[in-house]
C-alpha cells in the first residue's frame, strides 16, 4: 500500500491479516519501526490541547447552567446531553472515516467544537445551552473517533499498545489540572475568559492537526448499513471497555459526595493522584501489552481495578481514598490502552474507523449507564455499597477475558 510520505517517517501500512479469534492479543513479532514520527508527535500535541479545553469546561458548565437560572437537574443535563450526542454520532463517524478518510472528519470535529465553544458566550437561557451541548458532543464524537483512528494508522503494528498508551495519556493528562483552572477562571462569576481560553486551545489543536500528514489507507466504508457501521471483530475489546467504564463512572460522579458521606471532606487530591498514576502507567502498560498480549494485560488491569474498588469501598480516611486512587489508576491505565490497541490490532486499515467507533461508543455507554445506575443505587443504598456493586462488571470482565486467554494459551505468550 502506498503512502505520500517517506518510508522512514510513516509506519508500515501494508495489509494486515484480517481479524481471526486465534490472533486476539497475540504479540507481534514484526520488526520494531519508529513510533515517534513527526506526525505522531503533532497528533499527540493536538489531543493534549483539545482535551485541556474539554476538561476546562466540564466542571464549570454545570455552574454556568445554574447561573442562567437552571436547577440541579439542568446542570446534570448539561453533561448528559454532551455524552449522549457523542455516543450517538460515533457509529456513523466510524463509517465516514473508512469512506472519506481521517483528515476531513477530524477537521469537521475540531471546527464544530470550536464554534460551539465560542457560541457559549451568547447563551441567554438553558434551552440554547442544551442545544450547544448537543452540538459540542457531536464535535467531540467526531474528533475523538477520528484522532484515535489516525493514531492507529500512524503507529507501527508491533507497537500499537505503546502508541495507544501515549495517545490515551495525551487525552487524560489535562484532567490533572484543567478542571481546577476552569473553576478558578469562573470564581468571580464571569465565564468569558473560560470560553475564550477553551476556544483558543481548540484553535491551536486545529492548526496542529492541519500539518499532520495522514498516511494513505484503503477506503473500505462501503454503502451505509448496519454491517458497515459496526466492525464485528471489535466486540470483545468494546465489551471490555464498556465494563471498565461501568466501574469508572460511579467514581467520577460520586467521589466528592462519598467523601462527605464518610466525613472525609475534600477528596480533590484523589483526581490528582489518579491522573499522575495514569501518566506513569499508560506508556509502560502499552509496552507490556505489545510483548505480553493485549488481552492478558487488560485482564491484569481489571484485577487491579477490582482491588482499587475494594479499597475505596472500605475507605474511612483520606489516605485510603488516595490509595484507592493509585491502585485503581494503575488498573485503569493498564486496561484501557490494551483494549484500545486490541480494537485495531487485527483489523485492516480500511475498517479501523468502524472498529474505533465501536470502542468509543462502548466507552460512552459505560459512562452513561454507570452514572445513571450508580445514581439509582445511591438513593437506596450507601455510596460505599455502590462501589461494592461496581465490582460486578470488573468480575465479569476478568472472568470473560481470562477464559478467552485460557482457551488460546499458545497465542497469548
- Give the pLDDT confidence of 8-44 residue by residue, as tens digits: 333 333 333 333 333 444 444 445 678 889 999 999 9
| Residues 352/233, Cβ–Cβ less than 8 Å | no
Among 400, 385, 93, residue whose Cα is nearest residue 243: 400
At residue 16, the pLDDT reads 34
At residue 101, the pLDDT reads 83
Q: What is the residue extent of each domain of the chain? A: 34-217, 231-413
Low-confidence stretches of the chain (pLDDT beneath 70)? 1-32, 71-73, 75-76, 218-228, 408-413
At residue 323, the pLDDT reads 95
At residue 76, the pLDDT reads 64
The answer to whether domain 34-217 and domain 231-413 are alike in fold is yes
Please state which CATH number belongs to domain 34-217.
Answer: 1.20.1250.20
Q: How many residues does the chain have?
A: 413
At residue 410, the pLDDT reads 47
At residue 304, the pLDDT reads 97
At residue 184, the pLDDT reads 86
The alpha helices in 262-351, defined as continuous H runs, are 269-292, 294-314, 318-345
At residue 221, the pLDDT reads 56
At residue 52, the pLDDT reads 95
**What predicted TM-score, i.e. pTM, was given to this entire model?**
0.76
At residue 387, the pLDDT reads 92
Within a 10 A sphere around the Cβ of 128, how many other Cβ atoms?
Answer: 14
d(CA 228, CA 220): 9
Q: Please determine, looking at this structure, whether the domain spanning 231-413 carries the CATH number 3.30.300.10.
A: no
Q: At what angle do helices 318-345 and 269-292 cross, to 10 degrees?
A: 40
Amino acid at each position: 500500500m502506498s503512502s505520500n510520505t517517506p518510508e522512514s517517517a510513516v509506519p508500515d501500512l501494508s495489509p494486515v491479516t484480517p481479524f481471526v479469534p486465534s490472533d486476539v492479543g497475540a504479540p507481534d513479532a514484526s520488526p520494531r519501526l519508529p513510533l515517534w514520527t513527526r506526525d505522531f508527535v503533532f497528533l499527540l500535541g493536538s489531543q493534549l490541547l483539545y482535551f485541556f479545553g474539554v476538561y476546562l469546561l466540564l466542571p464549570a458548565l454545570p455552574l454556568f447552567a445554574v447561573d442562567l437560572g437552571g436547577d440541579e437537574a439542568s446542570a446534570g443535563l448539561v453533561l448528559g446531553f454532551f455524552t449522549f450526542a457523542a455516543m450517538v454520532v460515533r457509529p456513523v463517524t466510524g463509517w465516514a472515516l473508512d469512506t472519506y478518510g481521517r483528515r476531513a472528519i477530524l477537521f469537521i470535529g475540531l471546527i464544530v467544537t470550536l464554534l460551539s465553544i465560542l457560541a457559549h458566550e451568547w447563551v441567554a437561557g438553558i434551552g440554547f445551552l442544551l442545544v450547544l451541548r448537543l452540538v459540542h458532543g457531536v464535535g467531540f464524537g467526531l474528533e475523538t473517533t477520528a484522532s484515535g483512528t489516525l493514531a492507529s494508522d500512524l503507529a507501527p503494528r508491533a507497537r500499537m499498545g505503546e502508541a495507544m498508551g501515549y495517545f490515551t495519556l495525551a487525552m487524560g493528562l489535562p484532567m490533572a489540572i484543567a478542571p481546577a483552572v476552569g473553576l478558578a477562571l469562573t470564581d468571580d462569576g464571569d465565564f468569558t475568559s473560560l470560553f475564550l481560553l477553551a476556544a483558543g486551545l481548540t484553535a491551536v489543536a486545529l492548526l496542529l492537526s492541519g500539518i499532520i500528514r495522514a498516511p494513505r489507507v484503503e477506503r473500505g466504508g462501503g454503502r451505509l448499513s448496519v454491517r458497515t457501521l459496526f466492525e464485528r471483530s471489535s466486540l470483545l475489546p468494546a465489551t471490555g471497555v464498556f465494563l471498565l467504564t461501568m466501574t469508572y463512572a460511579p467514581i467520577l460522579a460520586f467521589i466528592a459526595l462519598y467523601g462527605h458521606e464518610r466525613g472525609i471532606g475534600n477528596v480533590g487530591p484523589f483526581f490528582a493522584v489518579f491522573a499522575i498514576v495514569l501518566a506513569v502507567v499508560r506508556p509502560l502498560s502499552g509496552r507490556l501489552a505489545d510483548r505480553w498480549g493485549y488481552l492478558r494485560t487488560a485482564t491484569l488491569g481489571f484485577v487491579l481495578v477490582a482491588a482499587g474498588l475494594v479499597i475505596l469501598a472500605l475507605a474511612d480516611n483520606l489516605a485510603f481514598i488516595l490509595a484507592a486512587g493509585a491502585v485503581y489508576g494503575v488498573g485503569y491505565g493498564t486496561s484501557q490502552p490494551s483494549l484500545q490497541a486490541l480494537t485495531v490490532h487485527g483489523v485492516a486499515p480500511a475498517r479501523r474507523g468502524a472498529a474505533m467507533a465501536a470502542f468509543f461508543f462502548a466507552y460512552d455507554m459505560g459512562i452513561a449507564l454507570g452514572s445513571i445506575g450508580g445514581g439509582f443505587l445511591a438513593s437506596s443504598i450507601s455510596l460505599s455499597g455502590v462501589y461494592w456493586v461496581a465490582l460486578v462488571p470488573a468480575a465479569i470482565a476478568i472472568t470473560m477475558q481470562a477464559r478467552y486467554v485460557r482457551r488460546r494459551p499458545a497465542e497469548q505468550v
